[in-house]
Amino acid sequence: MSLSLRSVLVLLIGVVLGLGLALSTSVWTALTARQHTRVAIDPAIESAVLVAEVIDRVRREYVDRIDDRQIVESAIRGIVADLDRHSSFLDAEQYEDILINTSGNYTGIGLDVNLEGGRVTVVAPLDDAPAARAGILPGDVVVSVDDIPVNQDNVEATVGRMRGAPGTAVTLDVLRVGSVVPLRFALTRTEVQVKTVTSEYLGNGLAYVRLAAFTEHTPSDLERAARELKEAAGGEPLLGLVLDLRSNPGGVLGAAVQVADTFLAEGRIVSGTGRVRQAQFEEFAHVGDALETVPTVVLVNGSSASAAEIVAGALQDHHRARIIGETTYGKGSVQTVMPLGEGSAIKLTTSRYLTPSGRSINGTGIEPDVRVHSADVNRQYRGAGGVVALRDDVQLLEAIRLISYDSIALNTTP
């Protein structure tokens, strides 16, 4: 029985890093000169030997000395990155960010920001978080954190500096429209729960719900929003709802399934195909959820991806909602995060999903039923306190017009 590739790699890399220069060129020649031997060699072992040889060459002969850990991480990054654009190696910091994105909890100051154009622009401060209490407003532009200016080529680093241990201090300088000099805010970091669900009662039985991402808290937050919207409607059933999934990058698969189930009474939501048993799945809707009978339209754009496309695809295939906006991103694959040693992990594509009708949207996206183009992707309504007014959001206006028509038709149907 041959050794697995994993076992061989662990063994050989351990030998390489442990013995280093003790392995001479003659040893490598003996290992790799299969043309001089009649012994059949497992291809997995040959590949592992080749990887180990390259690592040893770099370690011994590269012009600059490189840390052993860096060499191994670079090797892993190369192996995973060449698979597809969604698979990657995650160092400890990147892995922590993934955990934050899936759990929806982190320690920081509570800012929802837009990182486009080399700027860190505040979309909205989270309710009752340090930034909101200090007076930071939507539209403010962060120019420095702890006196370190924003690097236009690495704005993500600025977001990282806003985070830290609870109770620690951080200083932000922000530019505000109408202000010549930056405003300075001294804040104290605290535990923050990312708000992924925004809802608003629009009157006349109509409601608006925006999902910014899919975290573990999104389904329960959506259920809470549904109850609050019904209360705002005077306890009467809602006549129509706009579900805004624009610029939603996705997130937790299970959360997307639960959100779709909130709007569906029955039928398949999504299925997955993969090589291992865990990557082969089917998820179905169940009767009894809060928004199953509410007429719905779904807003999407080119940045609606992954979990957002699962929801949009399920509602479209079941003719449960009309899709409005622009063709979605087209990420029809599922990634599994696999923890490694020393706080790192790999994010590996393990499955491709299909919509209820059997469509694969990978690379093609979901085509809207009603196409409405927006010249400015950032011109999106984010609630009553946001920078963009509802009247200036052309896609949302069209969605409200259509759902208003649907609600009128519903009320006049005998």
Residue 225: give its domain's CATH number: 3.90.226.10
Write phi, then psi, for 308 (nearest 5 degrees). -65, -35
Per the structure, the count of domains in the chain is 3
Residues 256 and 373 in one domain: yes
Residues 270 and 184 in one domain: no
Would you state the pLDDT for residue 354?
Answer: 97
Is 306 annotated as catalytic? yes
Residues 368 and 290 in one domain: yes
Contact 171, 183 (CB under 8 A): no
Residues 302 and 393 in one domain: yes
Contact 227, 194 (CB under 8 A): no
Residues 201 and 185 in one domain: no
> Over the range 110-136, which residues count as b (16 or more CB within 10 Å of their CB) and which as e?
bbbbbeeeebbbbbbbbeebbbbebeb
Q: How far apart are CA 350 and CA 333, in angstroms?
A: 8
Would you state the pLDDT for residue 10?
Answer: 54
Of 229, 209, 206, 254, nearest to 405 (Cα)? 206
Q: How far apart are CA 89 and CA 75, in angstroms?
A: 10
> Is 87 part of a structural domain of the chain?
no
Residues 377 and 397 in one domain: yes
C-alpha distances out from residue 7 to 101, 337, 354, Å: 32, 20, 34
- Point out the domain boundary residue: 193, 212, 238: 193
Give strand pairing partners of 295: none
Is 303 annotated as catalytic? no
Would you state the pLDDT for residue 4?
Answer: 45
Q: How far apart are CA 362 and CA 302, in angstroms?
A: 13
Contact 252, 213 (CB under 8 A): no
Question: To 10 degrees, the CA torsion angle through 80, 82, 86, 90?
Answer: 30
Q: Which residue range forms the structural domain that includes residue 393?
A: 197-412
Residues 317 and 389 in one domain: yes
Residues 260 and 147 in one domain: no
User: Each residue's pLDDT tens digit in the chain (414 positions)?
Assistant: 444 444 445 555 554 444 444 444 444 454 555 455 555 667 777 777 888 888 889 889 999 998 888 888 888 888 898 899 889 999 888 888 888 778 878 889 988 787 767 788 887 787 778 998 899 987 889 999 999 998 877 777 888 889 888 999 999 999 998 888 999 999 999 988 878 899 999 999 999 999 988 999 999 999 999 999 999 999 999 999 999 999 888 999 999 999 999 999 999 999 999 999 989 999 999 998 889 999 999 999 998 999 999 999 999 999 999 999 999 999 999 999 999 888 899 999 999 999 999 999 999 999 999 999 998 877 888 877 677 889 999 999 999 999 987 655 545 444
Phi-psi region of 385 (alpha: psi -120 to 50; beta: other; left: phi over 0): alpha
* Amino acid at residue number 180: V
pTM of the predicted protein model: 0.77
Q: Reduced to 3 states, what is the DSSP secondary structure of residue 252?
A: coil
Q: Which of 261, 317, 333, 374 is catalytic?
A: 317
Residues 219 and 332 in one domain: yes
Give me the long-range contacts of 11-17 (CB less than 8 A, separation at least 24). 12/48, 12/49, 12/51, 12/52, 13/51, 13/52, 13/55, 13/72, 15/52, 16/52, 16/55, 16/56, 16/59, 17/55, 17/59, 17/68, 17/72
Q: How far apart are CA 213 and CA 326, in angstroms?
A: 18
Q: Which of 56, 230, 304, 331 is catalytic?
A: 331
Of 99, 299, 115, 232, nearest to 90 (Cα)? 99
Would you state the pLDDT for residue 328?
Answer: 95
Q: How far apart are CA 97 and CA 251, in angstroms?
A: 12
Q: Which of 88, 304, 306, 374 is catalytic?
A: 306
Would you state the pLDDT for residue 406?
Answer: 66
> Is 118 part of a structural domain of the chain?
yes
Residues 123 and 223 in one domain: no
Q: Which residue has the tokens 């934050």?
A: 100
Residues 203 and 291 in one domain: yes
- Point out the domain boundary residue: 143, 167, 193: 193
Is 331 annotated as catalytic? yes
Residues 373 and 230 in one domain: yes
Q: How far apart are CA 116 and CA 110, in angstroms?
A: 19
